[in-house]
A and B are shown apart, each in its own frame.
Chain A
Amino acid sequence: MRIIGSLAALLTLTHLLAAHAGAEPATGLADSAALRATVYGTPPQDIAPLPAVVPLDEIDIALPWARPLPAVLWFDRRLRVWFSAQSKPAPLAIVISGTGDDGNTAKLALLRATLYGAGYHVLTLPSPTNPGFIAAASSTGVAGDLMQDSHDLYAAAHEIIAHLPARVRITDVDVLGYSLGGAQAAVLKSIDSVEHRLRIHRAVMINPPVSLFAAMNRLDELFAISVGPGEEGIDLLYRRLYVRLGNFYRANDQVRIEDTNLLAAAGAVLRTDADFSAAIALTFRIELTNMFYAGDLYAGTGVVTDPRRPPRPGDSTDEVVRRLLVKPFSEYFDQVFVPYYLAHRSGSTRTSLIAESRLDIIADALRTNPDYYAQTNADDLILDRAELDWLRSTLNGRIAVYDHGGHLGNLGDRQQIADMLDMLAGRWAEAGR
């Protein structure tokens, strides 16, 4: 089983490259520092104070509105979320993951620790774009619609909270999320202002996109620039990185790949801006393959799976992965997402669906309700200048914009956490910023 240990080490390496990239960055030529921060995240010595012990429960829940489960997603029958309970009555913080991520990422663990330390019960949820969520909690199976996905998330959160043991006493409910989860957190609150089932008090968006569609397209562009088109692009990137890793191990006499060497290995593999861009773009593309596959399967669009011959768990997926890796978000949008919503939402057009992927759908609430907050970075890869300005003016001062950090590259640092806790507690305005 030593074998699996080394494997886990390697998975950690990809996580190091992937989890830190996390989501949907990039405006073509982002600056070096932003790219590196996005990939590496906050250095451990800059992390906010953390509690010694955080209790943790794993919750699995079957949701009645889930679509019939395809055989190949047998392991995703129940939605899996994580919960940390205070022993006394306390406010609940619901935290939503970023694009493609599950409900227990390193970023979520960091937020959980700081929130628990500040006295919250903490519930962490996967992104509605995560295949586990799509299978177990999506009412459509086709992820990517800001409002619909948030409705599913809202219903799931309500169901989970209703099932919590009686000893958990909740005094207030706040919601936050990072990246795409940030935008969904705000939408969740706006849904709640109509439905009143969760009684959400405040919402904090951490590095949210303003336009989902635009952010995704920027990633496609980044992929095109840093990896190149088609299978050759991916093959060249693979060879480049393999050669570097191979030579690193040759030069260092390290005949076993273990945890301790991973940071050094990552440093040897990723060197130029193009490498960091490629790591970010590829990470996102890999998340997209999952979402694309699930959407295609549920909507029966037949792009990579034949709706008349549903795939079986024993089937090889080599060919499917090869084909999906070269497909950008735009193909998902035009071949799966748009056809599905045109058929299921009357009066929709491609243009209206793009418009509905913007935070504008809740602009009035963001503008007038003082309980919405945001944190972002001036060099966040998923925003352009106009979008950042839109956030500033719409939130009217209820936003902290840090100079550096790229996309989520400062998540968990002392300033970000202190501000986040101030916002959640309603102390932000009083702080006189």
Chain B
Amino acid sequence: MFQVRIHGRGGQGVVTAAELLSVAAFLEGKHAQAFPSFGSERTGAPVVSFCRIDDKEIRLREPILEPDGLIVQDPTLFKAMDVFEGLRPDGYLLVNTNKGFDELHLAEVVAKLRNGHARALPATELALKHIGRPVPNVALLGAFAALTGVVHLHSVITAIRQAFSGKLGEANVAAATAAHAAIAGAAAAA
């Protein structure tokens, strides 16, 4: 089972991201379970969502305590809470930021992870460029597919098109594709 936890703030599409990831996994014939951290939703409040992916039926209903993958949509959360809690040593970390890990004081966290398992991506900038709104979730999903290989980019794209029709869908596809290329390209170069 591969377990993903997504941290962000209300309005950043945190819940939608987990749902899209689950649809992408479903499209590949896998079992997936996406669910939000339950609370009163408010714009700007810290929000957590979860996604489990497995080859067999998922029965577990507890929150994800030891994620294999962690997506942080808002770097200001580091001061508010321990988003890294339970992150497995062989897990993956993807942070939405235009800064480096050192500048965010994350060098220690990143050092605990395997080489190449932690990546930073300016997802909000990509979203502004392609979608025209500062919603980083879909770009991060494209990047997460490249970073972890847990789902293929084309599944993410199909999931996006199912959720968003027309121009909005294509704009999101462009953001996810660009983000995927940014991570995959950098990995190839390294």
Q: Do A and B bind each other?
A: no
